[in-house]
Amino acid sequence: MFQGSFPALITPFTESLEIDFDAYGRLIDFQIENGTNGIVPCGCSGEAATLSHDEQKSLIRFAVERVAGKIPVVAGTGSNNTAEAVGLTKYAKEVGCQGALLITPYYNKPTPAGLVAHYTTVANEADIPVMLYNVPGRTGTKISPETIAELSKVPNVVSVKEACGSVDQVSQILSRCDINVMSGDDSLTLPMMVVGAKGVVSVAANVIPGIMSKLCAAANAGDYDKARELHYKMLPLASALFLETNPMPVKAVLAKMGMIKNVLRLPLVPMTDESASRLDPFLKELGLI
Q: Is residue 289 part of a domain?
A: no
pTM: 0.96
| Identified catalytic residue from 133, 198, 214, 251 | 133
Q: Is residue 106 part of a domain?
A: yes
Span 158-169, pLDDT tens digits? 999 999 999 999
| Contact (Cβ atoms closer than 8 angstroms) between residue 215 and residue 35 | no
Q: How confident is the model at residue 151 (pLDDT cuts 50, 70, 90)?
A: very high
Give the model's pLDDT for residue 286.
95
Mean pLDDT of 175-197: 98
What is the side-by-side strand order in the sheet with 180-183?
4-7, 199-202, 180-183, 157-162, 130-134, 99-103, 74-76
User: Cα angle at 286 between 280 and 287, to 5 degrees?
Assistant: 85
- Domain residue limits at 25: 4-221
Provide the percentage of residues in the chain whose pLDDT is more than 70: 100
Q: Residue 186 CA to chain centroid, in angstroms?
A: 10
| Identified catalytic residue from 161, 198, 214, 251 | 161
Report the residue count for the chain.
289
Q: Is residue 229 part of a domain?
A: no
Q: CA 75 to CA 55: how far, in whole Å?
A: 13
Q: What's the chain's average pLDDT?
A: 97
Q: How confident is the model at residue 1 (pLDDT cuts 50, 70, 90)?
A: confident
Q: Is 133 a catalytic residue?
A: yes
Q: Is residue 286 part of a domain?
A: no
Give the model's pLDDT for residue 275.
93
Per-residue burial over 200-229, b if 16 or more Cβ lie within 10 Å, else e, is bbbbbbbbbbebbbbbbbbbeeeeeeebee
Q: Smallest Cα–Cα separation from 165: which of 194, 186, 139, 193?
A: 186
Quick one: which H or E segment has residue 210? helix 209-220
Q: Is residue 282 part of a domain?
A: no
Span 72-128, pLDDT tens digits? 999 999 999 999 999 999 999 999 999 999 999 999 999 999 999 999 999 999 999
Q: Is residue 268 part of a domain?
A: no
Provide the percentage of residues in the chain whose pLDDT is more than 90: 99
Q: Is 198 a catalytic residue?
A: no
Q: How confident is the model at residue 259 (pLDDT cuts 50, 70, 90)?
A: very high
CATH code assigned at 194: 3.20.20.70
Q: How many domains does the chain have?
A: 1
Q: Smallest Cα–Cα separation from 30: which of 233, 260, 189?
A: 260
